[in-house]
Amino acid sequence: MSLAYELVKSWSAREGNVTSTKTILDWVEHRNTTLTVDVQKIPFPKNGFWFLDDKDGFIRNKRNTFFQIAGFRQTDGEKLVCEQPVILQKEIGYLGIICKVIDGTLNFLMQAKVEPGNVNVIQISPTIQATKSNFTQAHGGRAPAYLDYFAHASDYNIVVDQIQSEQSSRFLKKRNRNIIIEVGDADIEVLDSHKWMTLGQIKELMKIDNLVNMDTRTVLSCIPYSLMKLEEGEYDKVRELFRDKALCESIFSEEENVLPKIFNTINNFKMYANRRSELISLRDLSNWEITDNEIICKDPYDFKVVYCQIEIEGREVRCWDQPLVEAIGMAVFGLFTCVDKGCRYFLVKAKSEVGCFDEIELGPVVQMEPSNPGNNLDEIEKLLMEKLEKGEGVLNDVILSEEGGRFYHEQNRNVIIEIDKDEVGPLPKGYFWVRYSTLNRIVQFNNFLNIQLRNLTSLLDI
């Protein structure tokens, strides 16, 4: 059988064949109640390992490793577009998953991982989730488990290996390596912190608030179904596994090439945008205040910077302190989908954010941050929010966490709503109806789908 078939078969296996879903939930609960985890907000240290550098006004540590927090200013001509703190982390980390066919079904080795900013302690994470500072042991701790498999990925069947963007409203040009390897007959030691799960189980777990972390979602969103070759006669077998036949058609059939129009929109923005960005001292952010306990905007804003003292049992380093970006409120990320002539389509739009690696990416219909009360929405965004308020056509509605290594208790509402295509009407500039296969092709290239859209597509169920 082809790998594409094995992936869909695993996707359809909601109960699992190696680890039961009840066992997974009990395992998470046990680790939640037995692991020592203590995260406390504390005042910014005057002369600690992390400090506000007098020279450039950035927050950094004494080794100048991990990440920094700087002031950021963006202008468009004479107009101020944005002024805020941003996270600087140029290094590329691993978000990696090992998979293997076990007793006839493809399973994924997932980790119960604690991050300091997690709202609920344990979340289901990739096999390995490590910054470059982690896996080069810049912190002086242990190397992450399973690192050797990814360092020698070419020895195995590489399912996906892409460098993708992170949250561009918080990070400046941050990217991570999303990689899945299928290890064949390799004998994998399963640590107490890891368990085998089918893709269907992981998808079911995504329906539980804050259980499957952002890193798992982005890696799974990159699986290149539409680029894989089905063997002769397999399509009918694959289609039989789908309850949503329109999604099967969307994944495995090609559409009329809309990529030139998408690239034209993206490239026009890159060519003609007149924005200028610069890093500045945190002290020079005109509307932000640095107090003993936080860096906070004087007006309503989406986040602030806090400082935390952290103890987590089982980590490469058990005790440390660091700054974290704390969300103020909850964002809504919303995607429209429709079925047209037996095929499922998704409505996406070109979206620029302050920290985009290459200025602009494709995103969902709605990315409404907490400080936006809905006053600046276009007609399609308003339509999605109206549908959500009325509960019309809602296929997915789940609260999921953002990256807990840099963000404190940031959780956002992720929504997919089915709609009649005619109800949306003519599309404004920058919007596109596309099949999943188109998104799946684009995501095989770096920095074309933003993390909000990737996370939403990861929720799709067959």
* Each residue's pLDDT tens digit, 1-25: 899 999 999 999 999 999 999 999 9
Would you say residue 364 has pLDDT above 60? yes
Span of 138-147, 307-316, 379-388 with lowest mean pLDDT: 138-147
> How high is the pLDDT of residue 1?
85
Would you say residue 130 has pLDDT above 90? no
Cα(62)–Cα(142) distance, integer angstroms? 20
Instruction: Over range 213-217, report the average pLDDT.
Output: 97
Cα(44)–Cα(22) distance, integer angstroms? 42
Q: How confident is the model at residue 135 (pLDDT cuts 50, 70, 90)?
A: low
Instruction: Over range 387-391, report the average pLDDT.
Output: 97
Instruction: Over range 335-354, report the average pLDDT.
Output: 97
Phi/psi-derived region of residue 109, left when phi > 0, alpha when psi is between -120 and 50, beta in every other case: beta
> How high is the pLDDT of residue 132?
74
Please state, in angstroms and as integers, the Cα–Cα distance from residue 38 to each residue in 101, 149, 215, 455, following that order.
38, 31, 22, 28
Tens digits of residue pLDDT in 236-259: 999 999 999 999 999 998 877 899
Would you say residue 141 has pLDDT above 70? no
Mean pLDDT of the chain, nearest integer: 94
Q: What residues does 324 pair with on adjacent strands? A: 306
Span of 149-153, 281-285, 372-376 with lowest mean pLDDT: 372-376
Q: What residues does 449 pair with on adjacent strands? A: 362
> How high is the pLDDT of residue 137?
56
> How high is the pLDDT of residue 413?
97
> How high is the pLDDT of residue 140?
56
Q: How confident is the model at residue 133 (pLDDT cuts 50, 70, 90)?
A: low
Instruction: Over range 111-136, report the average pLDDT.
Output: 88
Q: How confident is the model at residue 134 (pLDDT cuts 50, 70, 90)?
A: low
Cα(176)–Cα(162) distance, integer angstroms? 8
Instruction: Over range 375-402, report the average pLDDT.
Output: 95
> Percent of the chain at pLDDT above 90?
84
Span of 139-153, 240-254, 256-270 with lowest mean pLDDT: 139-153
Q: What are phi and psi of 449, to 5 degrees?
A: -110, 130
Cα(384)–Cα(151) distance, integer angstroms? 43
3-state secondary structure the chain: CCHHHHHHHHHHCCCCCCCCHHHHHHHHHHHHHHCCEEEEECCCCCCCCEEECCCCCCEEECCCCCCEEEEEEEEECCEEEEEEEEEECCCCEEEEEEEEEECCEEEEEEEEEECCCCCCCEEEECCEEECHHHHCCCCCCCCCCCHHHHHCHHHCEEEEEEEEECCCCCECCCEEEEEEEECCCCCCCCCCCEEEECHHHHHHHCCCCCCECHHHHHHHHCCCHHHCCCCCCHHHHHHHHCCCHHHHHHHHCCCCCCHHHHHHHHHHHHHHCCEEEEEECHHHCCCEEECCCEEEECCCCCEEEEEEEEEECCCCCCEEEEEEEEECCCCEEEEEEEEECCEEEEEEEEEECCCCCCCEEEECCEEECCCCCCCCCCHHHHHHHHHHHHCCCEEEEEEEECCCCCEECCEEEEEEEECCHHHHCCCCCCEEEEEHHHHHHHCCCCCCECHHHHHHHCCCCC
Domains of the chain, each with CATH number or no CATH: 3-37+92-242 (3.90.79.40), 38-89+279-327 (no CATH), 259-274+331-457 (3.90.79.40)
CA 113, 116, 117, 119 dihedral sign is positive
